[in-house]
Amino acid sequence: MRRALIAAVIVVTCGWSSARAADAAFTQFIASLWPEAQAAGVSRATFEQETRGLEPDYKLPDLILPGRPATGAPSQAEFVQVPADYVRDASIARLAGEGQRLLQKYRPALTEIEKTSGVPATVMLAIWGRETDYGRYTLPYDLVRVLATQAYVGRRKDTYRNEFILSLKILGEGVVTRKDMRSSWAGATGLTQFLPSEYYKHGVDFDRDGRIDIWHSVPDALASAAQQLVNKGWQSGVRWAYEVQAPAKVDCTTGVPEVTKPISQWLREGFVPVRGQKLSAAEQAQPASLLQPEGIYGPSFLTTKNYFVIKEYNFSDLYVLFVGHLSDRMTSPLPFATPWSASKQLRTRDVETMQRGLTRAGLYKDKIDGKAGMQTRAALGAYQKSAGLKVDCWPSEEVLRSIEAAR
């Protein structure tokens, strides 16, 4: 009994000592950033005030901790849910209803922002709705602590090193308090979710009060979101996508950004706009890519340049579909013409297995991330063709077994 007690004390003491050593190293790391912070315009007073007593949060995802497996990024909903679960009609309808109310409440500001940026008011509101439920969602993390931890032991240390310093600069400018500067685990903050670097690149003081406040000023947050889209190439007067009925023998492997044709050519190949929608000559001249989020199942879309601009805001096809569709639903009550199917996506590690197999076969050249995005779906379709399987461009148990058997 006594030996067990002594052993337990030793374990606890060693663990406590290791933690103290780790925290001391973290403190030294933060202190070493002062010259960079100073060069960025952070005052010594701000640096000391915001870093005094700062501790890392080792429970965050996407960290590489010595002696422990890499935590990996969390399974964000847009990457692990099937479309029917992510673009849920009840959620879209609720947010669209609130968006219509906010469209009236902020009409003067939205009209001016839309006039100067070319970004529709409904798109700005849809981003706000998706990111923070129009400000109702309370972000769970302290931004400074998140960025400091990610800069210290994250997968993208250099990126977060700069973001951490810029967060101190924002605090030093007195735009927002530390208490109100909450964030996601990845360091996005504000009503429309900006990294600190994005705040400085795209932030707009729309209400002209002398500061860019994306935490409390709705006009500033919406104008900043619109400016980010503009800076990334938004084209005024162009829709984000058109829902279409695909021909029966559609080649789903062409659903990649690299395959771009004028919409008129897609129409000649048998794609038909849903609900009898007639496209103007200008619309038909627009270049577009095919998107089939569920392979040959569920809705099909012809995506424009603006689709990919929204995707730069959040790199997920389902995110863009959510934002684009929510934007449309603020002016029309109609859901997608083609319903989502009851597809089931495999576990992340199974999709990773597929991606490795597709890479070995020379069909896939993107990263191994366990996400069934455009490139993965197209590569799966190419594999299905070569293996004599049904070509549906969707990860399934059948395809997984075939790829594993071919090793």
pLDDT tens per residue across all 407 residues of the chain = 445 444 444 433 444 444 455 589 999 999 999 999 999 999 999 999 999 999 999 999 888 887 666 555 555 544 557 888 889 999 999 999 999 999 999 999 999 999 999 999 999 999 999 999 999 999 999 999 999 999 999 999 999 999 999 999 999 999 999 999 999 999 999 999 999 999 999 999 999 999 999 999 999 999 999 999 999 999 999 999 999 999 999 999 999 999 999 999 999 999 999 999 999 999 999 999 999 999 999 999 999 999 999 999 998 899 999 999 999 999 999 999 999 986 777 788 889 999 999 999 999 999 998 888 899 999 999 999 999 999 999 998 999 999 999 87
Residues 24 and 150 in one domain: yes
Is residue 215 one of the residues assigned to a domain?
A: no
Is residue 173 one of the residues assigned to a domain?
A: yes
Residues 22 and 168 in one domain: yes
Residues 149 and 293 in one domain: no
Q: What is the structure's pLDDT at 406?
A: 86
Q: What is the structure's pLDDT at 68?
A: 64
Is residue 310 one of the residues assigned to a domain?
A: no
Residues 265 and 401 in one domain: no
Residues 161 and 36 in one domain: yes
DSSP of 18-79: HHHHHHHHHHHHHHHTHHHHHHTT--HHHHHHHHTT----TTSSSB--TTS--------HHH
Residues 23 and 144 in one domain: yes
- b (16+ CB within 10 A) / e for 124-133: bbbbbbbbbe
Residues 176 and 27 in one domain: yes
Residues 354 and 298 in one domain: no
Cα 99 to Cα 48, 96, 207, 264, 332, distances in angstroms: 42, 5, 20, 33, 12
Is residue 342 one of the residues assigned to a domain?
A: no
Q: Which residues pair with 294 in a beta bridge?
A: 296, 297
Q: What is the pLDDT of residues 328-338, one digit of tens each?
A: 999 999 999 99
Residues 164 and 38 in one domain: yes
Residues 62 and 167 in one domain: yes
Measure the CA–CA gap between 219 and 217, rounded to whole angstroms. Answer: 6
Is residue 175 one of the residues assigned to a domain?
A: yes
For residues 204 and 220, the answer to whether their CB atoms sit within 8 Å is: yes
Q: What is the structure's pLDDT at 13?
A: 41
DSSP element (H, E) containing 129: helix 121-132
For residues 357 and 386, the answer to whether their CB atoms sit within 8 Å is: no
Q: What is the chain's length?
A: 407
Give the number of domains in the chain.
3
Is residue 337 one of the residues assigned to a domain?
A: no
Tokens at 260, concatenated: 């771009």
Q: What is the pLDDT of residues 300-349, one digit of tens each?
A: 999 999 999 999 999 889 999 999 999 999 999 999 999 998 677 778 88
Residues 151 and 292 in one domain: no
The SS3 call for residue 358 is: helix
Give the domain range for residue 366.
348-405
Cα 121 to chain center, whole Å?
20
Residues 151 and 280 in one domain: no
Is residue 178 one of the residues assigned to a domain?
A: yes
Is residue 117 one of the residues assigned to a domain?
A: no
Q: What is the structure's pLDDT at 5?
A: 45
Q: Which residue has the tokens 């870093």?
A: 51
